[in-house]
Structure 1
Amino acid sequence: MTHESAGEPTRIVVVGSGFAGFECARALTRRLRGTDSRITMISAHDYMLYTPLLPEVAGGILDARFVTVPLSEALPNVELVKGNVDSVDFEARTVHVTDCEQGVEDVAWDRVVLTPGSVTRLFDIPGLAEHARGLKTPAEALYFRDQLLTQIELAERDTDPSVADARRTVVVVGASYAGTELTAQLRALADEAAARRNLDPAKIRFLLLDAADKVMPEVGEKLGGKVLDVLRSRGIDVRLETTLTELGPEHVTLDDGTVIPTRTVAWVTGVTASPLIDTLGLPTEKGRLTVRPDLSVEGHPDVFAGGDAAAVPDPKNSGSITPPTAQHAVRQGQALASNVAASLGVGDPKPYSHRDMGLVVDLGPGFAVANPLGIQLSGFLAKVVTRAYHLYAMPNAANRWAVALAYLTDLLFPRPLVSIGLVTDSESRFAAGEGVGAQH
C-alpha cells in the first residue's frame, strides 16, 4: 500500500536542483498548495546555479554568489536533502542518497522527478581529464579567473621567454556559446590586466578551437559570421575543424601536429547526462533517459524526468529530442510540475511543447549577439537585450539586484583584477563536478 492510499502525505521527490528541478519544485508548491503533498528536493548543493552567467564570473564581472540562488530562500516550502542520489529503487519506491560525509539514507517517494542534469562531455584524449577544466561549476569559473591573472603575473617575472609565452597562452576548445562567451570574457579580463601592467595585450594569446566548421552554429550563419569577425578583431586565434589529440601539464597538441605551449586549457565542448542515468536500468537515447511526450517514463507512471538528463521528444522536429539548453530545462520543469500534479488529480496532463525564444550571447565589452523570437541583433543593442534577458530570467530578486548592480559597476569602473585563490587544483577538476562523462 502506498502512502497515497494510506491517508498520509503524498511524497514527491525531485532529484537535482538545476533549472528543470528548480522550476518543477517551485511550480509544484503553487499547484499543490492546500493539498497534503510533501515536496522534497535532493541535491548535492543548497543552491540553483544560473549557469549562463558563469563566463562572466570567470571574466571578473560577477561574484560567484550572484549566480547561485539559495534554495532555502527561493523554495521555502520544499524540504532540502543535501547529498548525491546514487540509485533509484523503482519497486521499493526509494532513492539512495549519500551525503558529503558519506552518510547514507533511503528517501521514500510516491512520485519521483529525475532532473539530475548533466556533466561535461569528455573524450578519450590523453591528459584531458588531468590538464583541462570545464565550465559547469562556480569552482571552474573561479579557477579560470585566478589562473589567467596568476599566469600573467608569473610570466612577467619569468626569465625564460618561451615559458613566459606559454603562461600567457590560453586554449579554449569548443566554439559554441559557452566556449565563445568564456573566450570573450577572459580576453576582456586579459586586456584589462595588460592595460594596468603596461603590457602589450597581443602578448596574451587566445586560441579558440572547434571540430565544426562554424562558430556558434546555434545563432545562424549571419550572426555566427559576425561573432567570428569580432573574435578575430580582438586578437583571438580561431581555428575551426581543429581539436586536440593530447594534453600535458605545459602544452597541448593539435590534430594537425602543432604543439602549443600553454598552462591554461578550457574544455567546453558540450555535455552528457548525469552518471545517475546509467544506473537506472531504463531505456536511453543518446545517453539520456527516454521519456514520453508528457515527460513520464514508459512503464513507470509515477516516474518523471526532464532537463539535460532526459531525451524529451521535440514536437517541433519530429523524431528528434530537445537540445540540453537552460531554456528547455526551465520549460520542462514547468511541464513536469503540471503533469506530476495531474497524476495526483490536480489539473490535466499535457505533452511538452515549446516556442523557441532564441539565444543571447555576451561577447565582452560593448558587443553581443542575440536572436530573440527570430530577430537577429548584434552589437550594443544585442548587449542590452542580453543583459536584460538574464536579469528577467534570474529566479530570485536578491540575485537579480546583485547582478544588476554588478552590470552598472561594469559600466562605470574597470574590471577588478583579483585572484582570490579560493579554488584548489583538485576542486576545479572534472571529477569534482559530479562525475566524468567519457566517450570513446
Structure 2
Amino acid sequence: MTRPRILVVGAGFAGVECVRRLERRLSPGEAELTLVTPFAYQLYLPLLPQVASGVLTPQSIALSLRRSKKYRTRIIPGGAIGVDLASKVCVVRTITDQIVNERYDYLVLAPGSVTRTFDIPGLVDNAFGMKTLAEAAYIRDHVISQLDLADASQDPAERAARLQFVVVGGGYAGTETAACLQRLTHAAVKRYPRLDPSLIKWHLIDIAPKLMPELGDKLGRSAQEILRRRGIEISLGVSIEKAGPTEVTFTDGRVVPTRTLIWTAGVVASPLIATLGAETVRGRLAVNAEMNLPGHDGVFALGDAAAVPDRAKGGDAVCPPTAQHAMRQGKVVADNVIATLRGQALRPYEHKDLGLVVDLGGKDAVSKPLGIELHGLPAQAVARGYHWSALRTGVAKTRVLTNWTLNAIAGDDFVRTGFQARRPAKLKDFEYTDTYLTPEQVREQAEASVPREG
C-alpha cells in the first residue's frame, strides 16, 4: 500500500519542531515525510542582530537539518508558491526555478512571515531588511563599508551622510538591530583615525508612542535610557515619508542624509496564505484551537502564518508571532497530524508566555522572565541563557557560546566578506514576495500537470 504523504511547508521554528516530532513518533512505514524549504537549515531568527554586528558567525545560528543520522524526511529545496486545497496539491518553485506539483494527504503550513512594507515611495528600492541570514550578513558588510567609504571620501557632506544610520521599527528586532550595530560602529571607528566619532549618528524611529510596549512602561523606559545614553536618537510617533538612495524623509518633515535605511517595522504572514482562498484574520490563516483549517481535516497551519486562538488570554485573542509559540505549536500540530492519521481525538493548543528578553549588546539587556523585571547583567544572563538553551543542537550551542566568549575577549576585526558589490541588494532582492501565484493560477497549475509522485 502507498504510504500517506505528510507535507510540511517551512523550516522555521514551527515547521522543524513539527517534523522532528513526526520523525520520532511515526514509524518509517506509517507515513512519508516531505519538507519544503529553500535552505536545509533552521534559522535561529532572534540572534540575527548579533550576526549583523559580528558577535556571532552566520553558521552558528543556521542549524543544519541534515546533521541527525536519524533524519529521514525528504527535503525539497524550494518555496511553496501556491496550494490547491481541492486537488490536495502544493505548487513548489525549486531553487532552480523549476515548478513542480507535490501531492499530499496531510498538509502542515508553517511558511512563516515576510517583512511588512507599506506604499512608501522608494522604500523597497532603498531599504534593507533584517529577516534572513543573507540580509544580516549583507548589512554587516554594508555598515563597515560605509566607514571605509567615509574614511576615503574627500567630501565632508558625503562623509557625514555615510555615517548616519536609520532603523525603522521599535519592536524587538529593530531595537536590538540598532543597539547591536551602534556598538559595532562605536568600536570600529577607533580604527579609523581620520573619522570624527561624533559624526556617527544612529536614528531609531517608530510610529508607535512607546518602544517595545510589551515590556511595560518601566522596562521600556529603561531600554530607551540605555540607547539614548549610547547616543542613539529615538523618535516615536514618527515614520518614513519617502526613501531615496542618499536621504530619508521622516513624516515630521526632517530630512536625514544617509546611505543606510534598515526597515524592521513588523511582519505579515507569508503570501502563500493568500493562494489558498481561505478565511484569514489580518492576513493570517484562520484555524481552530487544534490548528486545523476548518473544513479540511488533514490541513493544519501554525506559527506566524496562522491566527491560532490564544486560549490562555481568551476572547478573540490570537497567539503572537513569536518563536516561543511557534516551537510549542509545532509539537502539538505533529501530535494532531498523527491523531488524524490514526483516527484519534485532537488536542487544542494552549500556552502561557514565559516572558520576554531583549539583548542590547555588551552588558546591556532588559528581560521579563515569568513577569519579573530585570535589567543590566542579570537581564543579559537571562536573555543569553534563554537563547542558548533554545538552540536545538549541541553543535549550535557550542558555536554560539564560543562566539560569545571570543567576542568578549578579543573583540571584532571589522572584516568585510565581500557582499557589498557594485550593485547593492535591498529589501526587494531578498524575500522574493513577487513569486507567488494567484488562487486561479494555482488551480490551473494543479490541473495542467500530473502531480509528481513521491
TM-score normalised to the size of structure 1? 0.95
Moved more, 115-124 or 134-143: 134-143
Corresponding residue SS for 2:262: strand
1:68 to 54, 62, 65: 62
1:29 to 12, 20, 23: 23
| Structure 1 partner of 2:337 | 340
What is the one-letter code of the residue matched to 1:266? I
Contact kept, 8 Å, 1:142 with 1:423, in 2: the verdict is no
| Structure 2 partner of 1:56 | 50
Contact kept, 8 Å, 1:426 with 1:432, in 2: the verdict is no
2:431 to 417, 430, 433: 433
Residues 14-163 of structure 1 aligned to structure 2 (within 5 Å)? 14-33=8-27, 35-74=29-68, 76-163=71-158
Q: How far does residue 104 in structure 1 lie from its aligned partner after superposition?
A: 2.2
| Structure 2 partner of 1:285 | 281
| Structure 2 partner of 1:202 | 198
Corresponding residue SS for 2:228: helix
Q: How far does residue 30 in structure 1 lie from its aligned partner after superposition?
A: 1.2
Contact kept, 8 Å, 2:126 with 2:426, in 1: the verdict is no
| Structure 2 partner of 1:349 | 346
Contact kept, 8 Å, 1:139 with 1:423, in 2: the verdict is no
- The answer to whether the aligner puts 1:309 opposite 2:299 as a matched pair is no
Q: How far does residue 93 in structure 1 lie from its aligned partner after superposition?
A: 1.6
* Aligned length in residues: 431
| Structure 2 partner of 1:375 | 372
Residues in 1 aligned to 2:138 and 2:374: alpha-carbon distance in whole angstroms: 32
Corresponding residue SS for 2:297: strand
What is the one-letter code of the residue matched to 1:77? R
| Structure 1 partner of 2:2 | 8
| Structure 1 partner of 2:398 | 401
- The answer to whether the aligner puts 1:389 opposite 2:383 as a matched pair is no
| Structure 1 partner of 2:355 | 358
Give CA-to-partner distance per residue, 1:114-134, whole Å, 9 cap, x none.
Answer: 111100000000000000011
| Structure 2 partner of 1:3 | none
What is the one-letter code of the residue matched to 1:303? V
Residues in 2 aligned to 1:35 and 1:376: alpha-carbon distance in whole angstroms: 49
Q: How far does residue 89 in structure 1 lie from its aligned partner after superposition?
A: 2.1
Residues in 1 aligned to 2:370 and 2:345: alpha-carbon distance in whole angstroms: 28
Moved more, 310-319 or 13-22: 310-319
Residues in 2 aligned to 1:217 and 1:236: alpha-carbon distance in whole angstroms: 19
Structure 1 unaligned regions, length at least 5 = 1-6
Give CA-to-partner distance per residue, 1:353-412, whole Å, 9 cap, x none.
Answer: 002111111101111111111111110111111111111001111111100100111221
Contact kept, 8 Å, 1:120 with 1:436, in 2: the verdict is no
Residues in 2 aligned to 1:113 and 1:120: alpha-carbon distance in whole angstroms: 22
Residues in 1 aligned to 2:2 and 2:327: alpha-carbon distance in whole angstroms: 30
Corresponding residue SS for 1:77: coil
Residues in 2 aligned to 1:346 and 1:30: alpha-carbon distance in whole angstroms: 19
Corresponding residue SS for 1:369: strand
| Structure 2 partner of 1:254 | 250
Moved more, 229-238 or 342-351: 342-351
Q: How far does residue 428 in structure 1 lie from its aligned partner after superposition?
A: 4.6
Per the alignment, do residues 20 and 421 of structure 1 end up closer, same or farther by CA in structure 2, a change over 3 Å counting? same
CA RMSD in angstroms comes to 1.6
Moved more, 341-350 or 123-132: 341-350
Moved more, 88-97 or 130-139: 88-97
What is the one-letter code of the residue matched to 1:276? L
Give CA-to-partner distance per residue, 1:399-427, whole Å, 9 cap, x none.
Answer: 11100100111221112301112365565
Per the alignment, do residues 427 and 19 of structure 1 end up closer, same or farther by CA in structure 2, a change over 3 Å counting? farther
Moved more, 304-313 or 327-336: 327-336
What is the one-letter code of the residue matched to 2:244? G
Moved more, 95-104 or 327-336: 95-104
| Structure 1 partner of 2:321 | 324
- The answer to whether the aligner puts 1:214 opposite 2:210 as a matched pair is yes
Contact kept, 8 Å, 1:120 with 1:430, in 2: the verdict is no
Residues in 1 aligned to 2:271 and 2:399: alpha-carbon distance in whole angstroms: 33
Corresponding residue SS for 1:364: coil
